[in-house]
Amino acid sequence: MAETLTKQDIIKDENIVYKKTGLMTDKVLSYCPGCGHGTTHRLVMEVIDELGAQANTIGIAPVGCSVLAYEFMDIDMQEAAHGRAPALATAIKRLMPDKLVFTYQGDGDLAAIGTGETIHAANRGENITIIFVNNGIYGMTGGQMAPTTLPGMKSSTSPYGRDIKTMGYPLKITELIARLPGTYFVTRQAVHTPANVRKAKKAIRKAFDLQKQNKGLTFVEIVSNCNSGWKMTPVKANQWMVDNMFPFYPLGDIKVDGELVK
Amino acid sequence: MAKELRLMKGNEAVAEAAIRAGCDGYFGYPITPQSEVMEYLMAEKPHERTGMVVLQAESELASINMVYGGACCGKKVMTSSSSPGISLMQEGISYLAGAELPCLVVNVVRGGPGLGTIQPSQSDYFQATKGGGHGDYKLITLAPSSVQEMYDFVKVAFDLAFKYRNPAMILSDGAIGQMMEKVVLEDQIPRLTEAEIIKKCPWATTGKTPDRERNIITSLDLDPARQERHNLKLQEKYKKITENEVRYETIDCENAEYIFVAYGTSARICLKALQLAKEKGIKVGLFRPITLFPFPVNQIKEMAGKIKGILSIEMSAGQMIEDIKLAVEGKIKVEHYGKMGGIIPSPNEVLEALEQKIIGG
């Protein structure tokens, strides 16, 4: 018997506690270390995998940091123009009602340039799922002010902090769309701790399950960090998110079974 | 069996043609003078006739992006609008061209710029034939000059769009869209099943099955060398379209000394002007480009060697005339006559312009 364990001794079914998500490609993620996008990608793909829905799913990537989401998700995907993903999703689902259709969008994409498409797809009650990653900043273009940037928060286009008087208020679009009759399940989650990751995955699973039942639009917001845009270390960014983002964007279900959570 | 004959508006003909061509989806937004397209479709309940989806979007931005989403799935999808709405769609049209997606966009042109007027015009020629949005791209552009052609070109445009994986445009105008003529209707072509689409469009996002790699539709490639290769491929395609798909009509051109070049409503005005000219003993013919891209360059070039002058008749400040001049290469005189702001020139005005600008000029 060998004195030391070899790799082959270790790689055994009974030893496996975690493995790479089946529907993530081998492409190395382009996201900054510590960014929530990677985890969120994985959760969406784990859910599609568990539903056995790879052959039945069409995803839509936005413009923003996750513009290359299609490089990492091993499913058929379309790349939308900035903000237009819900319009694409609307058509796909109307033309192919048996497919699972989701958009994956950031805050600039969904809550600024694409506000019209978001609100109207939600209000029509399109049977699609929207995964909304809100990090309060334009990450891809280098840290400009987003519709969700907090009051007083610094960005490259609000270098002295967001001044509400001249730059307007952050848009709580998730609360807004929860009030529309076309939405069925609206929730806000985070992926910065294992416990939150588990909750977020459950929410994503629920959103897709409900889509299969044609209940109307399902919407999962992930409040996330942007350590490079916020100019913080990943650990500090997560702490800042807990201290500043969560009080403004509280986690939890906002609408369940078509009813606002009291 | 005799073909079905119906009296229809140009806009209604487009709608009926879409259903019968096996169109899978129409996404639109109301704008004068083309709202009858969606009104007709909604009234017809094409979902019951063929399963076709018709949806009124919240804006032209949304409707062209719905077209993009459907086109990515290999579906036969279309939208229609008029000039200001088509301007709003330019972003989406550029993405469709960049991602090489087939679709049909109908522009029932009205006078501009800006909100302009709701009356007919041909001032969107540049926008339709030179790209319109950002980047180097072309739309296959068909110009109907009758209600029958409004009907016929829907199928032609879809066929060309799928043949070349390229957006196609029907460039009409408010007169053709609103006027009524009799139309010979073709039999219903069935919509394709998902299996048929997968076979015809193996690139389409229909869901990744184990027998193939995932399909991704994007116009993004950050690598300059690859992006240039993609652009070269597009240019190669446009060249092929130019070589193979030129369509035009000639009337009384054989022994003509002068030629009107005109499309759409202007070509109809010229038909009457030809009669008036004949009475005066003026030998003039009509050359009617049917495809504006590809433009019949060689045909006009060849013709220029046999005639004394060309008058381009356009309901604009003169846009197509630039393409005519490029084709003629300075060999003969080329002038423009037209009206703007929604005014249709009369046959007498057209003939007068020929006499003054070309014959006497």
A226 shares contact with chain B (CB less than 8 Å): no
Q: In degrees to the nearest 10, what's the CA dihedral of A47, A110, A180, A258?
A: 10
Min distance B83 CA to chain A CA atoms (Å): 21
Residue owning tokens 């229609």: B80
The answer to whether A79 contacts B69, with C-beta atoms less than 8 Å apart, is: no
What pLDDT does A25 receive? 96
- Which residue in chain B has the smallest CA separation from A90? B66
The answer to whether B215 contacts A94, with C-beta atoms less than 8 Å apart, is: no
- Check whether A2 has a pLDDT greater than 60: no
Which of the following CATH numbers is that of domain A31-260: 3.40.50.970, 1.10.150.120, 3.20.20.70, 3.30.390.30?
A: 3.40.50.970
Contacts of B332-338 with CB under 8 Å at 24 or more apart are B332/B304, B332/B307, B332/B308, B333/B308, B333/B309, B333/B358, B333/B361, B334/B309, B334/B310, B335/B309, B335/B310, B335/B311, B335/B361, B336/B311, B336/B312, B337/B311, B337/B312, B337/B313, B338/B122, B338/B266, B338/B312, B338/B313, B338/B314
CA atoms within 13 A on the CB side of A129: 26
The answer to whether A84 contacts B77, with C-beta atoms less than 8 Å apart, is: no
What pLDDT does B38 receive? 98
Contact A106, A62 (CB under 8 A): yes
What pLDDT does B337 receive? 98
The answer to whether B57 contacts A120, with C-beta atoms less than 8 Å apart, is: yes
**Whole-number Cα distances in Å, A247 to A27, A243, A260, B273:** 36, 7, 19, 75
- Which residue in chain A has the smallest CA separation from B101? A78
For B133-164, the pLDDT digits (tens) are 999 999 999 999 999 999 999 999 999 999 99
The answer to whether A87 contacts B220, with C-beta atoms less than 8 Å apart, is: no
- Which residue in chain B has the smallest CA separation from A113? B61
What's the burial of A159, exposed, middle or buried (CB within 10 Å: 0-12/13-18/19+)?
Answer: exposed
Euclidean distance between CA atoms A23 and A47, whole angstroms = 10
| Nearest by CB: B25 against A56, A75, A94 | A94
Contact B161, B21 (CB under 8 A): no
Taking residue B209's Cβ as centre, other Cβ atoms within 10 Å add up to 12
The answer to whether B70 contacts A92, with C-beta atoms less than 8 Å apart, is: yes
Chain A residues whose CB is inside 8 A of the B206 CB are: 58, 76, 96
Sequence-distant (≥ 6) Cβ neighbours of residue B165 within 8 angstroms: B100, B101, B102, B203, B237
- Which residue in chain B has the smallest CA separation from A24? B214
A122 shares contact with chain B (CB less than 8 Å): no
Comparing A13 with B173, which gets the higher pLDDT?
Answer: B173
What pLDDT does A200 receive? 98
| Nearest by CB: A79 against B66, B210, B220 | B220
What pLDDT does B107 receive? 98
Domain ranges of chain A: 31-260
Q: Which amino acid is at B207?
A: G
Of the candidates A141, A131, A147, the one whose C-alpha atom is nearest the C-alpha of residue A86 is: A131
For A136-191, the pLDDT digits (tens) are 999 999 999 999 999 999 999 999 999 999 999 999 999 999 999 999 999 999 99
Taking residue B155's Cβ as centre, other Cβ atoms within 10 Å add up to 18
For A240-257, the pLDDT digits (tens) are 999 999 999 999 999 999
- Check whether A5 has a pLDDT greater than 90: no
* pLDDT, averaged across chain B: 97
The answer to whether A55 contacts B66, with C-beta atoms less than 8 Å apart, is: no
> Which residues does chain B have with pLDDT short of 70?
1
What pLDDT does A1 receive? 53
The answer to whether A120 contacts B206, with C-beta atoms less than 8 Å apart, is: no
What pLDDT does A64 receive? 95
- Check whether A80 has a pLDDT greater than 60: yes
Question: Residue A69: what are its φ and ψ, rounded to 5°?
Answer: -50, -35
> Residue B274 CA to chain centroid, in angstroms?
25
State the average pLDDT over residues A39-47: 98
- Check whether A74 has a pLDDT greater than 80: yes
**What is the three-class DSSP state of A194?**
helix
The answer to whether A91 contacts B215, with C-beta atoms less than 8 Å apart, is: no
Strands laid side by side in the B25-28 sheet: B53-56, B25-28, B77-81, B103-109, B167-173, B140-142, B291-293
Let me know how many helices (H) and strands (E) chain B has, helices first.
Answer: 14, 15
CA atoms within 13 A on the CB side of A60: 36
What pLDDT does A8 receive? 83
The answer to whether B205 contacts A78, with C-beta atoms less than 8 Å apart, is: yes
- What chain B holds in terms of domains, given with CATH numbers, is 4-194 (3.40.50.970), 248-359 (3.40.50.920)
What pLDDT does B30 receive? 98
A74 shares contact with chain B (CB less than 8 Å): yes
What pLDDT does A127 receive? 98
Rg (CA), chain A: 19
Chain B residue set in contact with A, beta carbons under 8 Å? 24-25, 27, 53, 55, 57-59, 61-63, 65-70, 72-73, 75, 77, 91-92, 95, 99, 194, 205-210, 214-220
Strands (E), chain A: 57-61, 76-79, 100-106, 129-134, 137-138, 144-145, 183-190, 217-223, 252-256, 259-260
- Which residue in chain B has the smallest CA separation from A116? B58
For A84-105, the pLDDT digits (tens) are 999 999 999 999 999 999 999 9
Contact B6, B183 (CB under 8 A): yes
Contact B207, A48 (CB under 8 A): no
- Which residue in chain B has the smallest CA separation from A126? B55
Top residue of B23, B47, B61, B78 to mutate, by most chain A CBs within 10 Å, is: B61
